[in-house]
Amino acid sequence: MKVKQLIEQLKTYGEDTELFVEYWDKETVEQYGTSRKMTEDEWAYAVQTMENGEFAFQSHAAEQLVEAAEDAMKEEG
């Protein structure tokens, strides 16, 4: 996703809306251990691959967020 696309999505929320946001950039992925620096085309391919799939970490993150929300509701309720 291009930054401008993310910004457009974020504009649909109110300024004080709480969000959990996670993003990765090419440099961060390279720091985590790619064998070499990636070209922009290689990075674009990797991003497209990730955007086209549902991965285990997404389901796990969703489960963790629901659990945190449930815990918060117990504390408040």
Q: What is the pLDDT of residue 39?
A: 95
CB atoms within 10 A of CB 47: 16
pLDDT digits (tens), the chain, 77 positions:
899 999 999 999 999 999 988 888 999 999 998 899 999 999 999 999 888 877 777 778 888 888 888 999 998 76
Q: What is the pLDDT of residue 63?
A: 86
Q: What is the pLDDT of residue 77?
A: 65
Q: Domain residue spans in the chain?
A: 3-76
pTM above 0.75, yes or no: no
Which helix H or strand E contains 40, and what residues bound it? helix 40-51
Q: Are 10 and 18 in contact (CB under 8 A)?
A: no
